[in-house]
């Protein structure tokens, strides 16, 4: 099976925007569609609590005619039009869709950050992990989130194997970002965030990309949108992941990034696995 995950940074802009960047985003969506993945996970949809509009669904149907849509948006008391996740999955499948609450600090559980698809023999779940924020103002809450999320994945893993993707908002090791020495106190590369990601892997999960490419340098999934030269200079971070239960690791056949051209911010990540 083939899976693709992407932090799209506003699906409304992607589907209805007229900017150059919106056009770049749609080109990436077309590239994803051409791959014919079984499941597409999308983070940071930034939709209203009512989810995709009729116009959004029409454009999605044009791009992905053989797919069903599941979505989750931020709801009060969380901020409106914030975070949010979505799945597109081929209509040959009929997974059970759930929208878990994990006991995270308020209002994180209301920010639409997790959707899970249950297939007969495995779970597919996506996450948009909270960013620790400017000045690390949300780092304490983020660490609680990490503990709650790890417990949730372990609970799934006790039932059947798990395939988990998303924007985890952490570069795990120094090899996972271009300038580690300058970022030890930056959100996404603090000791605390990295330690929690290590705990997650140690709880029974494999980083699919590093499993196949243990020593590859310069492989990133995010480049700062506001820094014009970030992608030209490959000054990036790898903060998006496909994780699998350890017992699935030997079934991974491919894991990597999909080229998003000149578009900065996140690029899609891909997993192929023999299930």
CATH of the domain at 226: 3.60.10.10
In angstroms, the CA 148 to CA 21 distance is: 35
What is the token pair recorded at 44?
Answer: 């940071």
Instruction: Consult the annotation and say whether 167 binds a ligand.
Output: yes
Range of the domain at 84: 2-273
Instruction: Consult the annotation and say whether 265 binds a ligand.
Output: yes
Instruction: Consult the annotation and say whether 12 binds a ligand.
Output: no
Give the pLDDT score at 104. Answer: 97
Instruction: Consult the annotation and say whether 91 binds a ligand.
Output: no
DSSP string, 119-175: -SS-EEEEEEPPP--GGGTTHHHHHHHHHHHHHHHHHHHTTS-EEEEEE-----SGG
Instruction: Consult the annotation and say whether 169 binds a ligand.
Output: yes
Number of domains in the chain: 1
Residue numbers of the chain with a pLDDT score lower than 70 = none
Give the pLDDT score at 53. Answer: 97
- Are 266 and 167 in contact by the 8 Å Cβ rule? The answer is yes
Give the pLDDT score at 19. Answer: 96
- Are 144 and 105 in contact by the 8 Å Cβ rule? The answer is yes
Give the residue numbers marked as catalytic: 128, 167, 266
Question: What does each C-alpha distance from 82 to 86, 111, 151 come to in angstroms?
Answer: 13, 7, 24
Instruction: Consult the annotation and say whether 7 binds a ligand.
Output: yes
pTM over 0.95: yes
């Amino acid at each position: 099976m083939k899976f693709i995950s992407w932090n799209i940074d506003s699906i409304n802009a992607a589907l209805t925007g007229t900017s150059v960047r919106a056009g770049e985003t749609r080109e990436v969506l077309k590239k994803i569609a051409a791959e014919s993945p079984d499941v597409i996970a999308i983070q940071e949809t930034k939709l209203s609590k009512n989810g995709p509009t009729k116009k959004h669904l029409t454009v999605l149907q044009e791009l992905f005619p053989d797919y069903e849509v599941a979505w989750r948006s931020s709801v009060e008391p969380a901020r409106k039009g914030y975070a949010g996740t979505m799945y597109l999955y081929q209509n040959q499948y009929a997974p059970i869709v759930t929208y878990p609450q994990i006991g995270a600090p308020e209002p994180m559980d209301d920010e639409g950050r997790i959707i899970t698809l249950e297939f007969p023999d495995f779970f597919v779940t996506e996450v948009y992990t909270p960013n620790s924020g400017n000045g690390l103002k949300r780092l304490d809450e983020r660490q609680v989130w990490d503990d709650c999320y790890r417990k949730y994945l372990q609970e799934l893993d006790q039932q059947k194997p798990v395939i988990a993707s998303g924007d985890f908002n952490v570069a795990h090791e120094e090899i996972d970002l271009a300038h580690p020495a300058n970022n030890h106190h930056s959100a996404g590369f603090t000791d605390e965030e990295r330690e929690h990601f290590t705990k997650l892997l140690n709880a029974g999960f494999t980083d699919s990309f590093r499993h196949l490419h243990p020593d590859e340098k310069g492989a990133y999934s995010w480049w700062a949108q506001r820094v014009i030269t970030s992608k030209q200079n490959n000054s990036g971070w790898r903060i998006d992941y496909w994780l699998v239960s350890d017992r699935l690791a030997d079934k991974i056949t491919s894991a990597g990034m999909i080229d998003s051209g000149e578009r900065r911010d996140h690029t899609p990540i891909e997993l192929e696995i023999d299930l």
